[in-house]
């Protein structure tokens, strides 16, 4: 008797292991069947599926377009002088030695990255290149331009530190005028900060819209199969078993709409490539506008698939509670 009990105990783990293996295999098979069945359902009604995917794709493409625009505005701001040097105009009676001494003093400051000297002759040559100035300059008996120090603040300085630097430069006795675009930089930074918040808010609102679109589509699909779902629940099917195909439908909607959004963003980037090239040429090639990073284009379909799954999960759980 004891030997028989030992044999039964020895046989129990294999049976449990085999049962667990069958359950895992059945779970995998149903996941595969659900993914394929939900995809076939989408293909069975191509017009409705394409309309849903198009609406979601357009909604997800808008934040990408604004992100692209905001990034290029930042690049444009740099090209237009967001980080340009502070121009310090010395008194007309200052000699070259005095300009060099002042440049050395400023270069020793902790908030200054570099100081370059523009001589009066260099300034005159720049004016001569401008249309309409060559004739007027020929009539001058002597060069009226002063020495100019181009002071480049260290990168990463905040606005108050740059303002203190400009204030110190204006208080120097040998300085006649200080030309700084600090106010313009602050306004541009503030504008870009607002743009960042707008892009985030827009992305959240449109992501919610995409989630609602998927949820409504799944709700209609579940409502059309109300009797079928009721029969499955009566014969003992679990809620997870019943809603699994609808979850995969949400994933497919999200994935395809995310791919469409990425393609639309690339199309916008391609459409802008010609005007951007001409604009860069107008700035002697100094303006380099970028496109959307590849990691973002790869993340969008995955994030959209998660949104689709979430919308389908919420709606299917609510609909199944009603069915029960």
Beta-carbon contacts of 175 under 8 Å, excluding residues fewer than 6 positions away, are: 88, 89, 90, 91, 169
* Cα distance between residue 146 and residue 168, in whole Å: 20
Q: Indicate the helix (H) or strand (E) that contains 40.
A: helix 2-44
Q: Are 191 and 119 in contact (CB under 8 A)?
A: no
CA distance 260 to 253: 11
144, 120, 80: which is closest to 289 by C-alpha?
Answer: 80
The CATH number of 86-180 is: 3.30.70.3040
Query: What does the pLDDT profile of the chain (324 residues) look like in tens digits?
Result: 444 444 444 444 455 666 667 767 777 887 788 888 888 888 888 888 898 899 889 988 888 888 888 777 777 666 655 556 788 888 888 888 888 888 888 888 888 888 888 887 787 777 666 655 555 555 566 666 788 888 888 876 777 788 888 888 888 888 888 887 666 666 777 777 787 788 888 888 888 888 888 888 888 877 777 777 667 767 766 667 777 888 888 899 999 999 999 999 899 888 877 777 777 676 666 566 677 888 888 999 999 999 889 888 888 878 777 655
SS3 188: helix
Q: Which residues pair with 115 in a beta bridge?
A: 151
Whether 41 and 249 have beta carbons less than 8 Å apart is answered as: yes
Q: What is the pLDDT of residue 256?
A: 94
Task: State how far the Cα of 282 lies from the Cα of 288, in Å rounded to an integer.
Answer: 12
Pairing of strands 86-90, 175-179: antiparallel
The size of the chain, in residues, is 324
Q: How far is CA 232 from the centre of its chain?
A: 45
pTM: 0.64
Q: What is the largest CA-CA distance in the chain?
A: 126
Helix, strand, coil shares of the chain as percentages rounded to 5? 75, 5, 20
Tell me, what's the pLDDT at 212? 85
Beta strands at 86-90 and 148-153: parallel, antiparallel or unpaired: antiparallel
| Whole-number pLDDT of residue 81 | 55
CA dist., res. 322 & res. 324, Å (int): 5
pLDDT at residue number 322: 66
Between CA 97 and CA 89 the distance in angstroms is 15
Comparing CA positions, the residue from 233, 252, 198, 192 lying closest to residue 56 is 252
Domain ranges within the chain, ordered by starting residue? 34-79+188-323, 86-180
């Amino acid at each position: 008797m004891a030997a028989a009990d030992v044999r039964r105990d020895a046989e129990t783990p294999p049976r449990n292991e085999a049962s667990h293996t069958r359950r895992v295999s059945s779970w995998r098979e149903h996941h595969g069947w659900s993914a394929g069945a939900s995809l076939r359902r989408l293909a069975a009604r191509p017009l409705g599926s394409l309309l849903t995917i198009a609406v979601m794709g357009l909604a997800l493409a808008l934040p990408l377009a604004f992100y692209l625009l905001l990034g290029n505005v930042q690049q444009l701001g740099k090209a237009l002088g967001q980080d340009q040097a502070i121009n310090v105009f010395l008194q007309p009676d200052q000699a070259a030695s005095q300009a060099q001494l002042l440049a050395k003093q400023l270069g020793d400051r902790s908030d200054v990255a570099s100081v370059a000297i523009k001589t009066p002759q260099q300034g005159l040559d720049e004016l001569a290149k401008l249309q309409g100035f060559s004739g007027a300059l020929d009539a001058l008996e002597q060069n009226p331009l002063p020495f100019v120090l181009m002071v480049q603040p260290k990168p990463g300085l905040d606005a108050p530190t740059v303002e203190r630097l400009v204030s110190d430069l204006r208080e120097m006795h040998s300085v006649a005028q200080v030309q700084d675009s600090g106010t313009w930089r602050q306004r541009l930074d503030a504008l870009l900060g607002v743009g960042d918040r707008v892009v985030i808010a827009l992305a959240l609102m449109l992501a919610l819209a995409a989630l609602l679109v998927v949820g409504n589509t799944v709700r209609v699909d579940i409502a059309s199969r109300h009797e079928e779902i009721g029969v499955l629940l009566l014969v003992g099917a679990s809620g997870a078993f019943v809603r699994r195909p609808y979850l995969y439908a949400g994933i497919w909607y999200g994935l395809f709409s995310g791919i469409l959004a990425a393609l639309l963003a690339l199309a916008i980037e391609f459409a802008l490539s010609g005007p951007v090239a001409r604009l860069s040429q107008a700035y002697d090639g100094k303006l380099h506008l970028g496109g959307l990073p590849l990691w973002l284009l790869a993340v969008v379909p995955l994030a959209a698939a998660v949104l689709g799954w979430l919308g389908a999960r919420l709606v299917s759980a609510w609909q199944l509670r009603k069915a029960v």
